[in-house]
Structure 1
Amino acid sequence: MKRDMDLVRKILRSVDVNEDEGAISGMQIDGYSHEEIAYHVMLLKEANIIRANIVCAEGSKIPEGYAIYSITREGYAFLDAFSNERRWKKAQSLIGDIGDAPLHLVIPLFMELITARII
């Protein structure tokens, strides 16, 4: 499954809005399947952007379920830096399609663009 940075941002926004209501699971985001959302939740957890439990069937690469508990400090820094739509689009165009680079490498690259005042 291909990583979708727009979905990453949408998941973080949704968690931010609903974080005080307890664990978040079964999130619905227009245009995305449960499998796509669960996979991206797993990527966010692996990149230390959120605190979550992931449930996978033995031998499966796609999670069956998840429970998101909170956004980490790094996750909030990313969310705050890219809350502006213009900045988000500019960052995406500068980075372009960087292939299948891991999320834990992509997010610092986005943040470096902010630090360098490129966007």
Structure 2
Amino acid sequence: MICDLNLIRKLILAVEAGPTGYVQDEIEINGYSEEQIGYHAYLLINAGLANGIDVTTIADTSPQWTILHLTSAGHDFADAARDESIWQKATGIAKEKAGNVTLDVMKQILIHLINKTLGFDDS
């Protein structure tokens, strides 16, 4: 399964939008299967953006994890990715320059765009 950065963003923002900081119900995102969400939850946890638990069973075809809450790094990513216009610019840059990028590279692109928007970047 290919890492879908749009799903990563949607998951992070969905977790952050919860009222308590903890995920209390199964996360559902329109247009994505339970398997895709579980695998991308695994990617978020593996990248240190969230904490969670492994709920993979022998019948599953890919890692299935449940997110419990975001880490500080996950909140930082949410802050960087929240603005839709900045997200669109960042994904455009990523596709134009590299096709696919890692989560770390996407975060750096987002931070660069935010700094530029705030006038902290002269390039």
- TM-score tier by shorter-chain length is 0.7 to 0.9
Q: Does 1:38 align with 2:38?
A: yes
**DSSP 3-state at the match of 1:30:** coil
Distance 1:27 1:94, change over 3 A: same
What RMSD over aligned residues (CA atoms) do the two structures have, in Å? 2.3
Rg comparison, structure with higher value: 2
Q: How far apart are 1:111 and its partner, in Å?
A: 2.4
CA shift, 1:61, in A, is 5.2
Residue in 2 that maps onto 1:113: 109
The superposition leaves residues 6-36 of structure 1 with CA deviations (integer Å, 9 ceiling, x where unpaired) of 1111111111112617444521111011000
Q: Secondary structure at the match of 1:62?
A: coil
One-letter amino acid of the structure 1 residue matched with residue 44 of structure 2: L
Does structure 2 retain, via aligned residues, the 8 Å contact 1:26–1:34? no
Q: Which runs of 5+ in 2 are unaligned?
A: 118-123
Deviation per CA, 1:18-76, whole angstroms, max 9, x where unpaired? 26174445211110110000000000000000000012234955134x33221011111
* C-alpha distance 2-16 of structure 1, shift in aligned 2 (>3 A): same
1:83 paired to 2:82: yes
What is the CA distance between 1:77 and its match in structure 2?
0.8
Matches of 1:12 and 1:87, distance apart in 2: 16
Deviation at 1:84, TM superposition (A): 0.7
Please give the TM-score of this superposition, normalised by the length of structure 2.
Answer: 0.77
